[in-house]
Amino acid sequence: MRTLKIYLAKQSMQLCVLVFISLSIIACEKEAEVFDVETKSANKKMKNNVSGGPFEFPAPVYDIASTPDGSILVGVNDGGSRSVQIIKNGKVKTMVEVDATSDINGIAAIGAGNAFLTTMGTDLAVEGELYRVSHGTARMVADLATFERENDPDAFEGLQWKNQLCEAIDGFSAGPQNNPYKVVALSGSTTLVADAAGNTLLSATTTGSIDWKAIFTPPVDENGDWIVRWVAENEDGEPIPCYVQPVPTSVAVHEDYIYVGELTGALALAGEDLPIGLSRVWKIPADANNVVCSEDSGPCEVLIDGLTSVIDLDIGPDGLLYVVEFDENSWISSFVPGLAAGGTISAYDLEGNLVDVVASGLSFPSAITFDKKGNLWLLENNNIALPVERKPTVRMLIYEPV
């Protein structure tokens, strides 16, 4: 048994797959199995490919990315050892060791041997950085934690919907919270980062320049009002409503638009309700900056709603938006034995219309990527809380129209 400090997104009982708590994870000796995949479309099929794995990893993995030469990058967090592993020609080897103080979250490949990484945030935004990998080394290029501590945009910019006192719950402190999660590269020097605990989309460069591009607002109820999770008090004893937080986890870019998916925080202090059907995918003009994404104002648009625990997005070679839901009973399934219903990959057109359910019944899927041949690769078995028999697994799924 080993204790892994995982900061699961502050917004959700602060247990969310992305702001982090101390958890004991039991590594089982049993060989990992490939989870059965149910396809919901009769004219499609998913199958394993021998050269495409499955490849098992002994420690937590949160993201994968494809490179121009067809290799797959995997961020592996083995205790205090962090590395980028590369799957190439059916074999796995270490591309680079990463000297970071917190775990690798997101990976965005730039070229063969070049990539951006984000690392996890911690209570009061002490950690969480952007790294640039090149020539076999990884160097920190943007201090995302310091930006959050000095700015805390969802609390002090735009609608200022979050009071910092609302963070003082589940063992966390009142104040700024961050968790730079998925990242995309706009160029070799510029990125976009979905900050799950900061409820923001950040732009960051290799020169250390950081700004907030968008702030995301809480999910709404049937009346269009922000959903209240709990009520805090200020120093005068006056009530402060604390809202369910959106928890942006994923970002994809296509031509003139940016797409951002949400995990969604916990609904109630008692934890009796599950945040099912509250996650959204936002569509934002690529040239927008310092915008607040709200359901009743532009320039952001809710492209897709009614989703549950979105953990990744990607644009496929067919021009469709692929959306990964961690589990149909929400991220809380990774903390409650027997609750998991299976995760899903769905394909949508860029107007938000469902085209196909690519796969369902997946075991805690956490990331996807498409290689240069258009093959879909999947990271699953990312159950970070409960003892599991399956190790984190990366495998290729062939998605074949008949």
Q: What is the number of residues in the chain?
A: 402
Q: Could you tell me which residues are beta bridge partners of residue 72?
A: 66, 87
Instruction: State the Cα–Cα distance between residues 294 and 161, nearest whole angstrom.
Output: 11
List, in sequence order, every residue forming a beta bridge with 310; answer none if it has no partner: 325
**Paired strand residues for 304:** 281
What is the pLDDT tens value at each position of the chain, 402 positions in all?
A: 222 233 343 433 334 333 333 332 222 322 323 333 443 333 343 344 447 999 999 899 999 999 999 999 999 999 889 999 999 999 999 999 999 999 999 999 998 889 999 999 999 999 999 999 998 999 999 999 999 999 999 999 999 999 999 999 988 999 999 999 999 999 999 999 999 999 999 999 999 999 999 999 999 999 999 999 999 999 999 999 999 999 999 999 999 999 999 999 999 876 679 999 999 999 999 999 999 999 988 899 999 999 999 999 999 999 999 999 999 999 999 988 899 999 999 999 999 999 999 999 999 999 999 999 999 999 999 876 766 667 999 999 976 643
With a CB cutoff of 8 Å and minimum separation 6, the contacts of 238 are none
Closest alpha carbon to 395 in 64, 68, 157, 118: 64
Q: Determine the Cα–Cα distance for residues 183 and 63; give it in Å rounded to an integer.
A: 10
State how far the Cα of 17 lies from the Cα of 394, in Å rounded to an integer.
Answer: 18
Q: Which residue in 357, 259, 264 sits closest to 304, CA to CA?
A: 259
DSSP code at position 120: -
Query: Residue 344 in contact with residue 327, Cβ under 8 Å?
Result: no
Please give the Cα distance from 394 to 397 (Å, whole number): 10
Q: Look at residue 3 in the predicted model and tell me its pLDDT.
A: 26
Residue 390: its pLDDT value, please? 79
Phi, psi of 180 (to 5 degrees): -60, 115
255, amino acid identity: E
pLDDT of residue 65: 98
> What dotted CATH number matches 2-397?
2.120.10.30
Beta strands of 30-156 (E only): which ranges? 55-56, 61-66, 72-78, 81-88, 91-97, 104-111, 114-119, 130-134, 137-142
Query: What is the reported pLDDT for 400?
Result: 62
Quick one: tokens of 20? 């982090």
